[in-house]
Structure 1
Amino acid sequence: MSNAISGMTKTTLRAIMLTLALGGAGAGLAGCQSDKDIDITKLVPESDPPDVLYNQGLANIKAGKMPEASRKFLAVDRQYPFTEWSRKALVMTTFTNYRMGRSDEAVAAGQRYLQQYPRSQDSAYVQYLIGLAYSRQIASVTQDQGSARKTIDAMQKVVNDYPDSEYVDDAQAKIRFARDQLAGKEMQVGRYYLERKEYLAAISRFRAVVEQYNNTNQVEEALARLTEAYYAMGLTDEAQTAAAVLGRNYPDSQWYADSFKLLKSAGHEPRENTGSWISRAGKKLVGA
């Protein structure tokens, strides 16, 4: 929220303080909350000037009344379109929808903002809010990961289009989380096939993790499962290579210990075949 309000002028801040005072805020938020019969959003008609409506919306945010704040910002947007106040209100509509958990509405408002004001001072923030809205919808790996993909796309735009913005670090963190979810989904499906002894189908999933999601925390298990699947198919050379790559990158991993034990049980040991796809992929692993 601080990002959205930090750009307010002193005049706007004074207007907010006055509005809070009218609402019975006294010296702070606690006073406002104690006047339970007073709704500061009702003190100004919806037909009032846009600056008044906008500041009422900000005051409602401070009072924790997100639905009322959203109503004020929508009134500005609808009654005073294509004005500077409408532009600012659309930013806050995106924000309040996100805060209320209305992710689809937040995305819709944010996308409309970026279409109308693609190079404004708040574009980076709005793009970041869109990414946050998608991120909030990411489900467990047992469910569809469409929101994870949308999170990556949205946050990558923050990184690419606004590289100097203050949102880049968190955008990159959200990308890493979403990628880990996608890798986790591949592992979940791969384990299902492995349990059913459908080894080729399982290998394709584990391979996707190693090649496409090589900077996630799913790689260790993926290499161990490849060792297991290839060994079960009698492809000892590939199993040894998977274990060798695992051991080189994660020597203290329990997954490596298990893979080493599996190979040793049949008189084999990890040994890398540099002509294998696993070896080539292993050179691209983070820390390789």
Structure 2
Amino acid sequence: MSVKSVKSGIVALFVLTLAACSNSEVDDTYVARDVNVLYNLGKEYYEKGRYMFAAAAFDEVERQHPYSVWARRAQVMAAAAYYQAKRYDDAINAIDRFLQLHPGNSSAPYAYYIKALCFYEQIADVGRDQDYTMRARNAFVELIRRYPDSEYAYDAKQKLELTDDHLAGKEMEVGRYYMRSKEYLSAAIRFRNVIEKYQKSSHTPEALHRLVEVNLALGIQPEAQSAAAVLGYNYNGSKWYRYSYALLKNKKLSPEMSSGSWLSKLWPF
């Protein structure tokens, strides 16, 4: 069902609702009652899970009464309804319009949160382009930056960790591809990205191990030893440290942090 057809149905239903609500002629007080009825109609649809009808009703509030306090509420509720209906582009457009008109509104944190969720729920697997993942990450970062004490900040932080893990996973996938192709320098760049940008992700131990592998392949032994040292210091019980330790042992080397390594700046021993 298209947005246009739903809106047409809402307008027709709204006219019938008004006729049932009042037998009096339209007067100066009728407009206020009008907007209340229409907003409540949208709220009723929302609560019943008929999100597209709810969005259309809330949009109608804004269209007919753009300067009322109800219009500001309706903009946010329309965005929420579009989000629930998985009409993510419509939700984002509604939120952007709301934030542009009312940046300091008390509902702004919720609006930023809904926008971030619209991107977050479109995240694809690591084998595909990560544009939505990056947009979700940026939106969560913006929410946390602007409203660190809001009720949405905690959940945003949790989801931010998941987006970072997803982005790190993509870097690892590409890095492994370069390793299989023996493009070790390109692989090293990808694994280093994981360490520098997504250090708290679940992929960090493997990324450190892969840096041991690629640096040994490139003949850069101090960097390989440094990566193994960091791996042993932070993830001593992991299988990745065992693999790295065995690689170095075969070459009669040991894990040792080099003072000139870029890793020493991230993990000062």
* TM-score (norm: length of structure 1): 0.80
Which residue number corresponds to residue 68 of structure 2?
A: 83
- AA of the residue aligned to 2:15: P
Choose the corresponding residue for 1:45, options 6, 11, 15. Answer: 15
Task: Indicate the larger mover: 150-159 or 202-211.
Answer: 150-159
Shift in Å, 1:46: 7.7
Task: Indicate the larger mover: 197-206 or 229-238.
Answer: 229-238
Choose the corresponding residue for 1:274, options 240, 259, 263. Answer: 259
Cα distance in 2 for partners of 1:100, 1:201 equals: 42
- AA of the residue aligned to 2:37: V
- AA of the residue aligned to 2:156: A
In the alignment, structure 1 segments of 5+ residues that lack a partner are 1-38
1:133-144 counterparts in 2 under 5 A? Answer: 133-144=118-129
Shift in Å, 1:42: 7.2
1:149-228 counterparts in 2 under 5 A? Answer: 149-228=134-213
Which residue number corresponds to residue 44 of structure 2?
A: 59
Which residue number corresponds to residue 6 of structure 2?
A: none
- SS at structure 2 position matched to 1:273: coil
Q: Deviations over 1:153-173 (max 9, x none)?
A: 212222121222101101111
The answer (yes or no) to whether the contact 1:41–1:57 under 8 Å persists in 2 is no
The answer (yes or no) to whether the contact 2:109–2:150 under 8 Å persists in 1 is yes
Cα distance in 2 for partners of 1:135, 1:121 equals: 23
Cα distance in 2 for partners of 1:63, 1:211 equals: 47
In the alignment, structure 2 segments of 5+ residues that lack a partner are 1-8, 19-33
- SS at structure 2 position matched to 1:45: helix
Q: Deviations over 1:65-124 (max 9, x none)?
A: 112111211111112212111111111111011111111111111011001111111111
- SS at structure 2 position matched to 1:246: helix
The answer (yes or no) to whether the contact 2:171–2:191 under 8 Å persists in 1 is yes
- AA of the residue aligned to 2:203: Q
Cα distance in 2 for partners of 1:230, 1:165 equals: 45
- AA of the residue aligned to 1:45: V
Q: Deviations over 1:16-69 (max 9, x none)?
A: xxxxxxxxxxxxxxxxxxxxxxx9997542895111111111111221211211
How many positions carry a matched residue from both structures? 246
* TM-score (norm: length of structure 2): 0.86
Cα distance in 1 for partners of 2:44, 2:262 equals: 59
Cα distance in 2 for partners of 1:93, 1:62 equals: 13
Shift in Å, 1:217: 1.6
Cα distance in 2 for partners of 1:139, 1:102 equals: 17
Q: Deviations over 1:199-227 (max 9, x none)?
A: 00000111111112212221111100000
Task: Indicate the larger mover: 193-202 or 170-179.
Answer: 170-179
Which residue number corresponds to residue 259 of structure 1?
A: 244
The answer (yes or no) to whether the contact 1:103–1:136 under 8 Å persists in 2 is no
The CA RMSD measured in Å over matched residues stands at 2.0
